[in-house]
Amino acid sequence: MELFFLAFGALFSIMNPLGTVPVFATLTQQNNDKEKQQIALKTAINVLVILLISFFLGQYILTFFNISIISLKIAGGLIISSSGFALLTGKFSEHKGMKRQKIQNDIESRNEISLTPLAIPMIAGPGTISLLITYNQEYKNADQIITIIIAMIVAALSIFIILRSAHFIVNKLGASGINALSRIIGFIVIAIGVEFIISSITLILKQII
């Protein structure tokens, strides 16, 4: 259970579906209720597929590019920390490449927004991918792998529930409420990124000693 809460907490914090709520509400404001539900479901499924691919194919990516796990953890820690700072400063959308003009273009086109920009890069970005590649290298037992997969499924389910309730959340919390929650999550995300970097530095010092 400890690994489950660790994996789920890290995934949920880094993906930060709450930060995607205003974007989802904007992109789907002219859709009917059934269409919103379908978009939310497709987005959650796309995110789950991205998570599974990142976790199971990550080791081959490392091997192909000859990247060590220590290098990946440091790079991932920097990416995750930068995402956390973006949440703290209220620039999460810009950090994910979602500028207002692009949002407006997506509103006008409305073609498969469940994959891009919602699933990637808004939710499953580089920080999430690097986290799962690291998990793939650290957790090898069958029980650990199954636990992480369950954490991915629960995270994807939470994304569906949150996006499905996006318009309700926006109406109840408002922009200020969502920003406040995002800033709290941002602090947690920064701590996760720093932990990645510290653990990598510790491994390097152990190898030197």
The predicted model scores a pTM of 0.80
Q: What is the pLDDT of residue 101?
A: 54
Domain count, the chain: 1
- How do residues 136-190 score in pLDDT, each as one tens digit? 988 999 999 999 999 999 999 999 999 999 989 888 887 778 778 778 888 888 9
Q: What is the pLDDT of residue 7?
A: 96
Q: Long-range pairs for 166-173 at CB < 8 Å and ≥24 separation?
A: 166/21, 166/24, 166/25, 166/28, 166/36, 166/40, 167/25, 167/28, 167/29, 167/36, 169/18, 169/21, 170/21, 170/22, 170/25
Residue segments in the chain with a per-residue pLDDT below the cut of 50: 106-108, 110
Q: What is the pLDDT of residue 11?
A: 96
Residue-range definition of the domain harbouring residue 155: 2-208
CA distance 89 to 42: 30
